[in-house]
Structure 1
């Protein structure tokens, strides 16, 4: 799993940080590249990365404030102008379809690839062969969601040496055995792939939150996540200000990660009042939850199979 942060600022861009956008690449799965939020200037940020618009096949919008959606019409149009043919799905709160349809119609922008727009509600909204997608309603004054994405558990490692002793060489049969299926060998013997697999590997969980102040739904949304990406607009000393503006503090989110069994926490949506640097925010977060990160724009991280997070 690779995370690339395209925009990490709150509200309006600063000289060092653009407004909200994140790309998640599931590197072990073909054609699984997702964007979460698309603030103004997102496609310009993409020019500084190795990503192309055609690679992105799902976009998740947390809420309809401008710093999370104003880059979307231009990105959709550019994806078409660049010749993308593969389907793109967009998910978001009620109103996202009207926003997209209206801006594309008024600007006379023609989309040449299949575009599907889904308005979501609280709860599971999509299941694929490998992932389950859930939306959790948060508290932000307008409809705002956190997205929880759960990978299907993976079969354990196939014992190739044991199979070679039976005369089974790497090839087409390995694929079926790896899937836990039964196969018939050339000598007529039937073997069960499940008998040659190690312990199953639990699927990864990533939770990406929209803007919110503290709410009960956060606990279910973040529970046991391998990675939690969450806004932290204010320092803890400004908790009252954060509450009044429907936002979270670093301390709020670090406590959430600690009690929820999160493995790694990424803080974004940083107020431009901290344009002098994020050292104080990072110190506050790590004092509660040591495995806390505050990415700069365009920073990328990989979650390795063993659960370690490394910057790339």
Structure 2
């Protein structure tokens, strides 16, 4: 599981940074990637990245401001030309379906795959046997949502060397042991699953917060997360401006990560007033003074989401 940034700027693109989009790479877990927001020019960013649109499985839209949305019709249209034949599901606030229906119908875009648009107002928006995604309302000029992606715990690994010593070969009994069931060999030997299966692998939690002022809705989404991705539009000396425009400072993002007991914080969605990565260093320093494990998001950079030690 890795996070890959396609756009880290707020409002409008600049020569240095594109507007918001971040990919959650799940190549080992699902052989796909998910995208959170899709600002204008995102498909151009993908062309410069190792990502392939044919592997895009889901898009989660935080809110309907253009810098988080205007790239989506073009990306949906282009996906079919780049090998995308599997279904694509797009999640977001009410109004998203109307926007996409009008954009794609007026442009007479041909979509050679199944496109599903799921509108929500928070709560559980997706769940299967390996992941669940929950959304919560934040505080912005329009309805803006954060997403909490939870990877479910997976079974531990079999000790195949020990099983071979029992004379047990790969087969149905391996599957039963993996499920935690005890088995008996043909020789009448009882094998305890707990002796041959390691501890379950604890799932990881990634929180992606949309544009927001500090608000109560952020905390449950970020609680105990392995990684929190939080906007840091301004430095803290511009706290009043941040509040006026319904955004957050780097320090406020760090305060939320600390209160939530998160493991790592990635700052993104930077104001255009910061024209280079070097000019963002003061934002990083103010955040790190409160939450040490903070990094600046950077486009075309990968950040691993590390697995925690299994529960005892």
Name the TM-score class by shorter chain. over 0.9
Instruction: Tell me, yes or no, if the aligned pair for 2:203 and 2:307 is still in contact at 8 Å.
Output: no
For residue 273 of structure 2, give the secondary structure of its aligned residue in structure 1.
Answer: helix
Partner of 1:290: 292
Looking at structure 2, the residues matched to 145 and 284 of structure 1 have their Cα atoms a distance apart, in angstroms, of: 25
Residue 56 (structure 1) shift: 0.6
- Further displaced range: 34-43 or 288-297: 288-297
For residue 246 of structure 1, give the secondary structure of its aligned residue in structure 2.
Answer: coil
Q: Is structure 2 residue 92 aligned with structure 1 residue 95?
A: no
Instruction: Tell me, yes or no, if the aligned pair for 2:87 and 2:113 is still in contact at 8 Å.
Output: yes
Q: Deviations over 1:154-197 (max 9, x none)?
A: 22332333322211235664344223345564446664535532
Change (3 A) 1:162 1:278: same
Residue 82 (structure 1) shift: 2.5
Residue 262 (structure 1) shift: 0.6
Partner of 1:226: 226
- Further displaced range: 181-190 or 212-221: 181-190
Looking at structure 2, the residues matched to 45 and 126 of structure 1 have their Cα atoms a distance apart, in angstroms, of: 27
Looking at structure 2, the residues matched to 116 and 184 of structure 1 have their Cα atoms a distance apart, in angstroms, of: 47
TM-score when scaled to structure 2? 0.93
> 1:1-312 maps to which residues of 2 (within 5 A)?
1-170=1-170, 173-181=173-181, 183=183, 185-187=185-187, 191=191, 193-276=193-276, 277-305=279-307
TM-score when scaled to structure 1? 0.93
In structure 1, the gaps of 5 or more residues are: 308-312
In structure 2, the gaps of 5 or more residues are: none
For residue 136 of structure 2, give the secondary structure of its aligned residue in structure 1.
Answer: strand
Q: Deviations over 1:20-46 (max 9, x none)?
A: 000101232133410000000000000
Looking at structure 1, the residues matched to 61 and 20 of structure 2 have their Cα atoms a distance apart, in angstroms, of: 10
For residue 221 of structure 1, give the secondary structure of its aligned residue in structure 2.
Answer: helix
Looking at structure 2, the residues matched to 31 and 117 of structure 1 have their Cα atoms a distance apart, in angstroms, of: 21
Residue 304 (structure 1) shift: 3.2
Q: Deviations over 1:106-156 (max 9, x none)?
A: 000011101111001221121111011100100102110000011111223
Residue 302 (structure 1) shift: 1.6
Looking at structure 1, the residues matched to 46 and 222 of structure 2 have their Cα atoms a distance apart, in angstroms, of: 28
Looking at structure 2, the residues matched to 128 and 190 of structure 1 have their Cα atoms a distance apart, in angstroms, of: 34
Looking at structure 1, the residues matched to 294 and 45 of structure 2 have their Cα atoms a distance apart, in angstroms, of: 24
Number of equivalenced pairs = 307
Instruction: Tell me, yes or no, if the aligned pair for 2:24 and 2:35 is still in contact at 8 Å.
Output: yes
Looking at structure 1, the residues matched to 111 and 125 of structure 2 have their Cα atoms a distance apart, in angstroms, of: 25
Residue 265 (structure 1) shift: 0.5
Residue 222 (structure 1) shift: 0.6
Instruction: Tell me, yes or no, if the aligned pair for 2:204 and 2:307 is still in contact at 8 Å.
Output: no
Looking at structure 2, the residues matched to 3 and 200 of structure 1 have their Cα atoms a distance apart, in angstroms, of: 23
